[in-house]
Structure 1
């Protein structure tokens, strides 16, 4: 376990941006109080470490309970909340599953928790104006389209053998850059439909997120998750195809069942319900299918238990989850890094974590992006490769400073 205090600027600008799910009232008024970071391979249970670090500041405690407990009081220097990032590899480590290949952005921690107060100092500022001299080189994928398609075929073979029912296969690409990457990551966070748009920074690294997907939201002991599964171009034809696709609907319902089971592990008996099934939402130039599942927290639920139940997210792993993670570790040539994890806000009375799809990370030399899709027996390898490219397209365009192309072009 590694705990470090507030950092200074080195290699990349630090302390700039709006953390995903941060309450808008705190914009421009926060100062970092304390920070915890952890990397896969270090000792300790990341779920317990996060719980211990945040509960000492009374963060998340009221959110997890249906009975309000005393808060931090009126002290103006009291913590108001924390940014929290949990990588997919850290989530796998929490449940004893394979953590996958090494992170291609090795400088980005697998767990980051940053506690803030509303006092004077070095505030979290809004996104800076576009930097001059920004240059982004060509993207270099970690595998070719043919290798990606072969991985999809191998995933289908595993499904055919009965090893798994469904699995998410994710690709990675990186590009060299010069200049300040923070404005590029901030542009990413402003993409249309980015429910969890924002930037988190540290010593020599930064994460930008444009995710539309809720991993878990908790208020007053009510747990909510909103899995997304199923994608088509945001055209009238694409919407009709998504609504009519038996393959997409079956894959979606399989993940809804997985998420119901995940919540049931930490919910009051009989409280899990599907509030909305297969609703069509828009993110940039794509239609996506989303469901809403809720439950009441079991008595005495701790943050560590919640994280172990929902991380890594079912919509980016598969079913059964641990078996799918083992298959992912065997199929994907590089780790998921900042992608497919959790990023959001933990306040005293509210927890809101998004799933880090449509996410990029910067280290001192390169930008990194991840994209993929869920594989079932009915998946077509070439179509899956094309879907991953469609998801990555708006992310790459935003990072380069270009406007994403409209559907059909």
Structure 2
């Protein structure tokens, strides 16, 4: 565990606070107060560490059912950014250790507490023209397709019902990556658009998916499963696809089960089942699962119940995570985790799909999809490419 004082990126320039889901009215007035970094090699429980660190800095999230006034003391903390990697979520779930991370400078947990005050800015420096090199994939299309077929074989054996497979790519760069990462937040449908930076790392997010939100006495998750091109034909295909609907409903049932672990008995409901929404040039199917939190529910238990998100693992969750750890050649890095804003009275964490990360030398992207018995390997490879294409084009400045 690393508790560190306020600082900006050392080898990457600092930007104004632009954390996904942070209050819009506060973003220009936020100044970093303290931060916590944790890596899996540090040991311990990252969910408990996050809750304890926030409480120590004036943000008590040990009982999310406790009423709050909804007003911030301008002399105290406004809230905090919270990032939890997919690997940390797998750790919380008791899953096997995944493959080595392609961007090891990224922490597995980052908690950054913000006050209202003047935002620190990095000193001006000579601008280096932005250049982004060619992408190198972590697996070939043939290897990706073989992994899809391996999931189908596992389903045939009865090992699982669905597993999400994710591929990674890296590209070298020169110049300041933060403008490129910030551009992701402007993509259409990016509900969780923004950036989080640290020492020699940065994460840019364009996610449309709510992992978990706590507001006004409700727990809310919005799983997304099912993708087609954003054309009239694509929309009709998505709405009538038995395969996509079955894949989607499996994950909705998984999310219902996850929320039931931390909800009052009998309060879990599903709203807007299989609603088609647009992200960039894709149609995607989304549902809303809602529940009332159980008495005394705290942030740590909330993270343990919901991370990693079911739509990027599969069902049953632990069996899917076990298969994923053996199948994927590299770790999921900044993707398929949680990133957003937490404060007493409101938690809003996005699932880090459509997400990129920078270390000191490379940009990294990830994309994948859910595999069921009815999946076609070549179609799954094409779907992953369709998801990552807008992200890579935006990073390049196109």
TM-score band, normalised by shorter chain: over 0.9
Question: CA shift at 1:286, angstroms?
Answer: 0.1
Query: 1:80-113 deviations in whole A, cap 9, x for unaligned?
Result: 1001100000011112112311110110111101
Residue in 2 that maps onto 1:87: 85
SS at match of 2:29: coil
Relative to the length of structure 1, the TM-score reads: 0.93
The Cα offsets for residues 355-384 of structure 1, whole Å up to 9 and x where unpaired, read as: 000000000000000000000000000000
Summarize the alignment of residues 192-211 of structure 1 with structure 2, pairs less than 5 Å apart.
Answer: 192-211=188-207
From 264, 269, 272, the counterpart of 1:268: 264
Quote the offset at 1:9 in angstroms.
Answer: 3.9
What does residue 111 of structure 2 align with? Answer: 113
**2:220 equivalent to 1:220:** no
Shift of 1:11: 1.0
In structure 2, stretches of 5+ residues that fail to align are: none
Check the 8 A contact 2:72/2:78 in 1, yes or no.
no
What CA distance in whole angstroms lies between the structure 2 residues aligned with 1:99 and 1:306? 22
Separation of aligned partners in 1, 2:208 and 2:118: 32
Equivalent position of 1:373 in the other structure: 369
| Cα deviation, residue 204, structure 1 | 0.6
Match of 2:276 in 1: 280
Q: Tell me the alpha carbon deviations over residues 237-283 of structure 1, each in whole angstroms, 9 at most, x when there is no partner.
A: 00000000000000000000000000000000000000110000000
Gaps of 5+ in 1: 403-409
CA distance in 2, matches of 1:123, 1:265: 43
Q: Deviations over 1:314-345 (max 9, x none)?
A: 00000010110000000000000000000000
Provide the alpha-carbon RMSD of the alignment: 1.7
Deviation at 1:167, TM superposition (A): 0.3
- Distance of 2:188 and 2:71 partners within structure 1: 36
The residue aligned with 2:346 is: 350
1:5-404 alignment runs, 5 A limit: 5-59=5-59, 61=61, 64-65=64-65, 67-69=66-68, 74=73, 76-122=74-120, 133-402=129-398
Distance 1:3 1:170, change over 3 A: same
| Number of residues of Structure 1 aligned to a counterpart in Structure 2 | 395
Deviation beyond 2 Å, 4+ runs, structure 1? 14-17, 55-63, 69-74
Aligned equivalents of 2:87 and 2:260: distance in 1? 23
SS in 2 for 1:27: helix
- Structure 1 pair 162/24, CA: closer, same or farther in 2 (3 Å)? same
Equivalent pair of 2:156/2:373 in contact (CA under 8 Å): yes
